[in-house]
């Protein structure tokens, strides 16, 4: 993989985007407890896809290539491919959830409130797990760079 090394500004931007996603998860939890909040649902529907795209773009452009360069193992390449596949699934789920939330906000959703609440909970749980995985990658990368060693070396 090619690409540049992560800079302090890149790391700060990534941490901000990850924090924004975690805040989104909290908002999703609130919406899951009361999926009749039309305005909040529309705001969430509009926020989810572009925020996820911003995070994924930064990770795939900077974090993953830098991780791969410092890994010292083919395990990194396999991990990166798995995370990219998860990104694709997350984006599809985000689009589906966005459309569903807009339909609920407009009063034209045929799904039960319980089903919508489960969609919201499942999506935010998946995001949290994914963010945790990438946080471990980032911390491993930074620790290895600090010690001037390969991540898996």
Range of the domain at 71: 8-146
CB 6 within 8 A of CB 63: yes
Give the model's pLDDT for residue 46.
94
- Is residue 124 pLDDT above 50, yes or no? yes
Give the model's pLDDT for residue 70.
85
Is 18 among the domain residues? yes
Residue range 58-70: mean pLDDT, rounded: 90
Is 75 among the domain residues? yes
Is 41 among the domain residues? yes
Give the model's pLDDT for residue 55.
94
Q: Number of structural domains, the chain?
A: 1
Question: pLDDT higher for 6 or 95?
Answer: 95
Kindly write down the DSSP assignment for every residue of 122-147, as one continuous string: HHHHHHHHHHHHHHHHHHHHHHHHHT
**Residues of 63-101 as b/e, b for ≥16 C-beta within 10 angstroms?**
bbbbbbbbbeeeebeebbeebeebbeebeebbeebbebb
Is 16 among the domain residues? yes
pTM: 0.85
Is 133 among the domain residues? yes
Is 2 among the domain residues? no
Is 153 among the domain residues? no
Give the model's pLDDT for residue 35.
60
Give the model's pLDDT for residue 1.
45
Is 74 among the domain residues? yes
- The single-letter DSSP state of residue 149 is S
């Amino acid at each position: 993989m090619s690409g540049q090394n992560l800079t302090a500004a890149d790391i700060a931007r990534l941490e901000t985007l990850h924090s924004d996603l975690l805040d989104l998860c909290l908002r999703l939890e609130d919406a899951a407890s009361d999926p009749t909040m039309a305005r909040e649902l529309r705001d969430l529907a509009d926020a989810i896809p572009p925020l996820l795209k911003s995070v994924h773009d930064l990770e795939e452009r900077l974090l993953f290539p830098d991780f791969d360069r410092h890994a010292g193992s083919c395990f990194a390449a396999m991990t990166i491919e798995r995370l990219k596949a998860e990104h694709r699934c997350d984006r599809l789920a985000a689009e589906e959830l966005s459309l569903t939330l807009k339909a609920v906000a407009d009063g034209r959703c045929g799904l039960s409130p319980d089903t919508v609440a489960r969609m919201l909970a499942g999506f935010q749980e998946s995001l949290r797990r994914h963010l945790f995985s990438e946080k471990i990658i980032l911390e491993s990368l930074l620790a290895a760079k600090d010690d001037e060693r390969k991540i898996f070396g």
